[in-house]
Chains A and B, each alone.
Chain A
Amino acid sequence: MKDKIKQFLDSDILEKYLVGTANQEETLQTERYISMYPEVRDAYNELQENLETYAKLYAIKAPAELKDQILNRVRKEHVGRKKYYRLAIAASVAVLVSFGASFFFWDQNQSLQEENSIVNNKIDDLEETMRQQLEDVRNQFIVLQNPQTKKVAVKGNKKAKELKAVAYINPVKRLSYINVSKLPNLPEDQCYQMWAEVNGEMVNLGIIHEADSQEKLLALPYADKAISYITIEPKGGNQTPTVENIVANLAY
């Protein structure tokens, strides 16, 4: 170790480092040695002192005008820098603003596109619903206006004496509708359900809601010798009709 330090001090790497002529490798080595070995650090500090002392021996009075010139140049440098920084800051701000704006417009575009597709879907849904309702109304109109349409009054049996309904059946157009005008009150946990027996199969036509059933014609599937039933079922409807709870039937 001592040898290594001695060898280093005997070489003139430290002197080269002192005056700034050491290459990168030598610089790194010197800085490592200075931080690791006090002998090298002391030698370096001594050399620095010697350099300053020796350089002072050659000092020449520096003229005062030169000082003013230097200060002027330094000030210009300062202003130049300030200008440069100002420009840099302005450019950065501009870039940030344009980024912000781009994101804002992109985001707006995204949400507008989303909204657009929602609106389009809604229009499609509405069109479909309207088409269906129009078809429905047209069919009802056909049935009700047709002279061949039979009007059949439906009355409830003894389980629901107050039940009143009118069925419209047109064998030519093969359409039939029923309008339930009055339903006796039921306990909360029960409801009326409509069924039709078509070609030997029992078809569920859904629950009858008293509120809307008065103005509404309920379409019945048409078949020759079909029979419709209204039954009382547990709330929410049933998969198959409860035969003993039939309150009205209609053959057509």
Chain B
Amino acid sequence: MSTLLEKHIVELLQERNEKAISLLYEHYGDTLLGVANKVVRNEELAQDVLQESFVKIWKKSDSYDASKAKLFTWLFRITRNTAIDKLRSVNTKSDKEIQIDVSDVYNLGVNSTRPEFMDVRENLDKIEPKYQIVLDALFFQGMTQQEASDELDIPLGTIKSRLKIGLRELRKIYGPTLILVLSMNLIP
């Protein structure tokens, strides 16, 4: 995901050009569907969430502030919130439903067997489950570290250190790209 493309999409969004939605779907659709699926744990429901999220993205397009967040961060927040709302409305059960289940970490769905996702799964395998759990709690479940500590019955200090290591592992995998993206960000 280049910054140039990001800029282009933002411009289209602000011009209220429908092409923005097309481009967003092409470049972020898969990842956002994955995000929705991580929260609702049902691919069909996740697709509903993605659709609703895109409508929200379109409606809220003038509220995006590039100085406050990267485009993906903004898209992620909308999708995740929509997914959580969906889960609450669909599920008559308590919010416990979003609790962390270790087995989920390995559940990548049928689509993940497709070749273009193979390296992704390989990469995911490089991160030990214990780190993935903490990263999941933080990024998808939106738990605070304290909440994750309570929920997972892991001491807060361990959560903090696992989070650090997990992020470091992540950087190891994507290190070169990250540096590239960061240096691109420096070019005005």
Contact at B33–A60, with CB atoms within 8 Å? yes
Contacts of B112 in A (CB 8 A): 60
Which of A10, A31, A59 is B117 in contact with, Cβ under 8 Å?
A59
Contact at A21–B142, with CB atoms within 8 Å? yes
Which of A20, A59, A67, A77 is B59 in contact with, Cβ under 8 Å?
A77
Q: A55-B139, A59-B30, A61-B117 are in contact. Are A70 and B70 (CB under 8 A)?
A: no
- How many angstroms between the C-alpha atoms of A52 and B18 in the bound complex? 24
Q: A20-B81, A60-B30 are in contact. Are A52 and B111 (CB under 8 A)?
A: no
Contact at B145–A12, with CB atoms within 8 Å? yes
Q: Which residue of B lies closest to A30 (CB)?
A: B68
Q: Mark A58-98, 1 if CB is under 8 A from B, else 0.
A: 11111100110111011101100000000000000000000
Judged by a CB distance under 8 angstroms, whether B29 is at the interface is yes
Q: A19-B139, A20-B80, A55-B35 are in contact. Are A45 and B178 (CB under 8 A)?
A: no
Contact at A70–B55, with CB atoms within 8 Å? yes
Contact at A62–B30, with CB atoms within 8 Å? yes
Contacts of B117 in A (CB 8 A): 59, 61
Contact at B178–A60, with CB atoms within 8 Å? no
Contact at A50–B170, with CB atoms within 8 Å? yes
Q: A59-B34, A70-B54, A73-B51 are in contact. Are A12 and B22 (CB under 8 A)?
A: no
Which of B1, B25, B109, B145 is A70 in contact with, Cβ under 8 Å?
B25
Judged by a CB distance under 8 angstroms, whether A141 is at the interface is no
Contact at A60–B34, with CB atoms within 8 Å? yes
Q: When A and B form their complex, what is the total count of cross-chain residue pairs whose Cβ atoms lie within 8 Å?
A: 140
Contact at A58–B55, with CB atoms within 8 Å? no
Which of A48, A63, A74 is B18 in contact with, Cβ under 8 Å?
A74
Contact at A53–B73, with CB atoms within 8 Å? no
Q: Is the interface of A mostly helix, strand, loop or mixed?
A: helix
Contacts of B22 in A (CB 8 A): 67, 71
Judged by a CB distance under 8 angstroms, whether A15 is at the interface is yes
- How many angstroms between the C-alpha atoms of A62 and B108 in the bound complex? 14
Contact at B73–A57, with CB atoms within 8 Å? no
Judged by a CB distance under 8 angstroms, whether B7 is at the interface is no
Which of B37, B55, B80, B138 is A73 in contact with, Cβ under 8 Å?
B55
Contacts of B38 in A (CB 8 A): 58
A11 CB to closest chain B CB (Å) equals 8
Contacts of B58 in A (CB 8 A): 74, 77
Contact at A57–B145, with CB atoms within 8 Å? no
Contacts of B167 in A (CB 8 A): 46, 50
Which of B73, B114, B120, B144 is A51 in contact with, Cβ under 8 Å?
B73
- How many angstroms between the C-alpha atoms of A105 and B165 in the bound complex? 78
B49-108, CB < 8 A from A:
50-51, 54-55, 58-59, 68-70, 72-73, 76-77, 80-81, 108
Contacts of A74 in B (CB 8 A): 18, 21, 54-55, 58
Which of A31, A58, A61, A78 is B35 in contact with, Cβ under 8 Å?
A58
Q: Which residue of B lies closest to A70 (CB)?
A: B54
- The listed residue with most A CB atoms (<10 A of its CB), out of B35, B116, B173, is B35
B164 CB to closest chain A CB (Å) equals 11
Contact at A58–B47, with CB atoms within 8 Å? no
Contact at B139–A51, with CB atoms within 8 Å? yes
Judged by a CB distance under 8 angstroms, whether A56 is at the interface is yes
A50 CB to closest chain B CB (Å) equals 5
- How many angstroms between the C-alpha atoms of A49 and B16 in the bound complex? 27
Given A62-B25, A78-B18, 7 other A-B residues pairs in contact with their CB atoms under 8 A: A12-B145, A16-B142, A20-B80, A46-B167, A50-B167, A53-B178, A59-B34
29 contacts between A and B (CB under 8 A): A15-B144, A19-B138, A19-B139, A20-B76, A20-B77, A20-B80, A45-B185, A48-B69, A48-B73, A49-B174, A50-B167, A50-B170, A50-B171, A51-B73, A51-B139, A52-B72, A55-B31, A55-B139, A57-B123, A58-B35, A59-B31, A59-B33, A60-B108, A60-B112, A62-B30, A66-B47, A70-B55, A73-B54, A77-B58
